[in-house]
Amino acid sequence: MTERIHNFSAGPAVLPVEVLEEAKENLLSLGNSGIGILEHSHRGSAFLAVYNQTVADCRKLAGIPDNYHVLFLQGGASSQFFMVPMNLLSKGQTADYLVTGSWSKKAVEQAQRFGTTHVAASSKDRNFCYIPKDASYSDAPAYVHFTSNNTIFGTQWAADPQVPSGVPLVCDASSDIFSRPIDVQKYGLIYAGAQKNLGPSGVTLVIIRDDLVKAGPLDIPEMLQYRTHAENESAYNTPPTFGIYLMGLVFKWMLKQGGLAEVQKMNEAKAKPLYDFLKQSSMFRGTADPGSESLMNVTFVTGDETLDKRFIAAAKEAGFDGLKGHRSVGGMRASIYNAFPAAGVQALVDFMRNFEASNG
Amino acid sequence: MTERIHNFSAGPAVLPVEVLEEAKENLLSLGNSGIGILEHSHRGSAFLAVYNQTVADCRKLAGIPDNYHVLFLQGGASSQFFMVPMNLLSKGQTADYLVTGSWSKKAVEQAQRFGTTHVAASSKDRNFCYIPKDASYSDAPAYVHFTSNNTIFGTQWAADPQVPSGVPLVCDASSDIFSRPIDVQKYGLIYAGAQKNLGPSGVTLVIIRDDLVKAGPLDIPEMLQYRTHAENESAYNTPPTFGIYLMGLVFKWMLKQGGLAEVQKMNEAKAKPLYDFLKQSSMFRGTADPGSESLMNVTFVTGDETLDKRFIAAAKEAGFDGLKGHRSVGGMRASIYNAFPAAGVQALVDFMRNFEASNG
């Protein structure tokens, strides 16, 4: 088999080898069923067992209370950008957004056609290189929306934002979900495209409180109501069965690591050598403010675009793939989600140190 | 490896073994890239090569003219039920629907909130066991929508419905797409959930004429505009990369069979022994009218629910899975899409003949 290289892709991203190996074994026959995982009816007992285990493991992993639904939807986080306001915001109401990067900007733009929006905090003044400390909320917002990790700008909320009591907190956690323990009860709704920390692209995990499901409007298409998916356990229509299966394998893998507290320790230990190196390097520097740095996406530059390009090319040549920063910011980005191996980060640091020595 | 059994599931459904084998080989490394197919960035060169080949093969297979877009969306055919009227129907306009089963009923229901709907033909009077011959269209409908194959009732349009000149024909082809040649130019829009004839669940193929894309409204969420996906080659946000990859493998497999004309011959030869048997059996009878029978889903009953149940249980025991009819109609259904092997149909006929002899 071809040797696997260091895959720093921001998503779809690296998956645990044991998850891929297990999926591989079940492609032509799920267990001894004689039917591959891709070919099982979503209403058959074999897939229902997969579904039930996936939901149970998700609940166990994140300590999800019974009054929250676990849904597997389609259309990515981008579809949640409009589904959230379509379901939770009415004309005459205001929704507050904390704008810390490109994705939260897109989210607030999509909400504008459903009601009033208010940007309660923004870090746009310094090109989103930090997480704002303060927010000025509107009176009685319908909800407060934030993006817990900013894939493009390499920043991450160190703690949940403080919101007015009783206001539902809505989180786009696409790029750091289950990278650390999460107190689900603080949230009204959490959503995450799977392709960074949870599985393949094409399935979106939505964790939503029951009262918000029930309060949603009935005059929008059934497929766009959270109610429809909650009442039908994500099988109102054919769900993305393989994505759910793979997410289940990733949940099992995380439980095997010891759960989210252990996963957090792994992620902290994994990112540290890279951030430590950036602090003392005379060639490279991190772009996120101290205290706002992401454990998932480490963004850095040399300060010289030509040198950036040379570095990226040399790294690619040496088997470090996907280090080019997002087209909207340039520079470099190392995406090191849960499944990215610590040895790969260490190898990158060694490579950067050598590159600096040879090109300094 | 576990032996594969006869999988008559209506969807997700059986896939060609060689497609599954190839996917299996590429799970840990796509070719010699060192990164698995699930883990490649949707903007990287390796996945873009997959995407381009998939689109090219789709165009070649179905002879899709240049003024049609090939899109890979999410949310299943159920999401097209509302996206079609949301994009093609305005208040004050009327859309015509040909109602031949549960799915077309659902489609017309979802359209009602966007404009006026008119049922131009229906086979509801005889529980959808036939395809209507005539239709009474409204004056200048925005489009005419039909379902080319009715998975649940085992009926299929033998030829395209005749629609007034200049009116866009919209087709839900989920359960018989690419089972026979298709004259794309007759259509304004064709959509199909992949999980029956094209690949795994979680990706929807949409073939849409450019003028319909351009005429779509701008005041709906970006993700719900065909324009957004057409302008961004299905990568406005992260597409379901694995589903696209797998669909590409299925397209290659169909081209290898000789293209759609050959696929049609295979399907006709494959279904024939079962329909022939049903015509002469004294225990089983097909439920679809002659001339309306589907080559994809063969529905039949004994006329005795207890006997139906005994047959389904005995068949399952003997390795024929998924023969239970849809919960809304009962009886039996053998889904024998493109990838279902002819030998499996013959084995079923032999089993039915023996069952009839032993239980007659």
What does A251-296 look like in DSSP terms, one character per residue?
Answer: HHHHHHTTSHHHHHHHHHHHHHHHHHHHHH-SS-EE-SPTTSB-SS
Cβ of A223 and B28 within 8 Å? no
CA distance A356 to chain B (A): 26
Interchain pair B241, A4: CB under 8 A? no
* Structural domains of chain B sorted by starting position, each given as residue range(s) with its CATH number in brackets: 18-257 (3.40.640.10), 259-359 (3.90.1150.10)
Are the Cβ atoms of B2 and A29 closer than 8 angstroms?
Answer: yes
Residue B267 is given by DSSP the state H
Would the CB atoms of A224 and B38 count as touching at under 8 Å?
no
Nearest Cβ partner for A4 among B14, B34, B321: B34
CB A113 within 8 A of CB A91: no
A253 a catalytic residue: no
- Give the neighbor-by-neighbor strand order of the sheet with B144-147: B68-73, B204-209, B189-193, B169-172, B144-147, B94-99, B116-122
Give chain A positions within 8 Å (CB) of B203: 202
8 A C-beta contact, residue B103 and residue B77: yes
Of A103, A157, A253, A324, the active-site residue reads A103
CB-closest option in B15, B34, B202 to A39: B15
Nearest to B338 by CA among B147, B194, B190, B206: B194
Instruction: Specify the pLDDT at position B243.
Output: 98
Residues of chain B short of pLDDT 70, as ranges, are 1
B157 has catalytic annotation: no
Complex ipTM, two decimals? 0.98
Confidence class of residue A329 from pLDDT cuts 50, 70 and 90? confident
In the 3-class helix/strand/coil scheme, how is A122-133 assigned residue by residue?
ECHHHCCCCCCC
Cβ-based neighbour number of residue B92 at 10 Å? 8
Nearest to B272 by CA among B264, B262, B282: B264
Known catalytic residue at A196: yes
Instruction: Report how far residue B160's alpha carbon sits from residue B91's, in angstroms, rounded to the nearest whole number.
Output: 28
Query: Model confidence over A90-145: pLDDT tens digits?
Result: 989 999 999 999 999 999 999 999 999 999 999 999 999 999 999 999 999 999 99
Q: Which residue from B minimizes the CA distance to A39?
A: B13
Q: Which of A252, A266, A264, A339 is nearest to A58 (CA)?
A: A252
DSSP conformation letters of B196-210: TTTSSTT-EEEEEEH
- The pLDDT value recorded for residue A360 is 73
Distance from CA of B218 to the nearest CA of A (A): 11
What's residue B1's pLDDT?
57
pLDDT value, residue B328: 78
Nearest by CB to residue B202, choosing from A14, A219, A243, is A243
- Could you tell me which of A82, A80, A71, A53 has the C-alpha nearest to residue A240? A71
Which amino acid type is present at position B177? I
Q: State mean pLDDT over A335-354.
A: 98
The answer to whether the Cβ–Cβ distance between A24 and B29 falls below 8 Å is: no
CA separation for the pair A196, A192 (Å, rounded): 9
Closest partner residue to A201 (CB to CB) among B3, B76, B241 is B241
Q: Which of A24, A110, A201, A245 to mutate to test the interface with B (most CBs of B within 10 A)?
A: A201
Which chain B positions have a beta carbon within 8 Å of A40's beta carbon?
9, 12
Predicted confidence (pLDDT) at residue A1 exceeds the cutoff of 60? no
Contact A1 B29 (CB under 8 A): yes
Give the model confidence (pLDDT) of A152-179 as tens digits: 999 999 999 999 999 999 999 999 999 9
